[in-house]
């Protein structure tokens, strides 16, 4: 896809693109998502009035990722707080203030788990 588009750009802008130049472009964009790359190539072909550069394509790839909502998952963070009963907890950014998460020592189930864990650990030989 990239190789063909580079040849089209060369024809469109009156340039001959040699194989070494194509190889450089291929190495630069070898890991690009095919769907994103296709959209970026189309956009650059339609928008550029002069021969595109790798930088132009890189920017178009970033825009295409946003449009297609492809990329890294949003980073989930936590906020320390207290639940409605005043028990210390954290709230995760993907579920703000709806589902408190507790440390094991701050909830009945966690304390029970720690108790069983201590019993098991006491019986195990290391």
- Provide the residue ranges of all domains of the chain, joining segments of one domain with +: 2-68, 78-123
Which of residues 38 and 126 earns the better pLDDT score?
Answer: 38
| pLDDT tens-digit series, residues 44-92 | 999 888 898 899 999 999 998 888 876 566 677 888 888 888 888 888 8
Span 20-41, average pLDDT: 90
Global pTM value: 0.52
CB 57 within 8 A of CB 94: no
User: Which tokens hold the place of 33?
Assistant: 């998502």
| 20 pLDDT higher than 90 | yes
User: Which tokens hold the place of 66?
Assistant: 């946003």
3-state secondary structure of 94: coil
């Amino acid at each position: 896809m990239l190789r063909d588009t580079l040849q089209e750009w060369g024809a469109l802008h009156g340039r001959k693109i040699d194989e070494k130049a194509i190889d450089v472009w291929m190495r630069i964009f070898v890991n690009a998502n095919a769907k994103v790359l296709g959209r970026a190539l189309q956009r650059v072909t339609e928008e550029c009035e002069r021969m595109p550069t790798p930088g132009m394509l890189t920017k178009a790839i970033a825009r295409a990722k946003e449009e297609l909502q492809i990329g890294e998952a949003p980073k989930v963070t936590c906020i320390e707080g207290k639940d409605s009963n005043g028990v210390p907890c954290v709230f995760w950014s993907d579920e703000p203030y709806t589902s408190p998460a507790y440390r094991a020592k701050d909830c009945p189930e966690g304390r029970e788990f720690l108790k069983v864990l201590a019993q098991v650990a006491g019986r195990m030989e290391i």
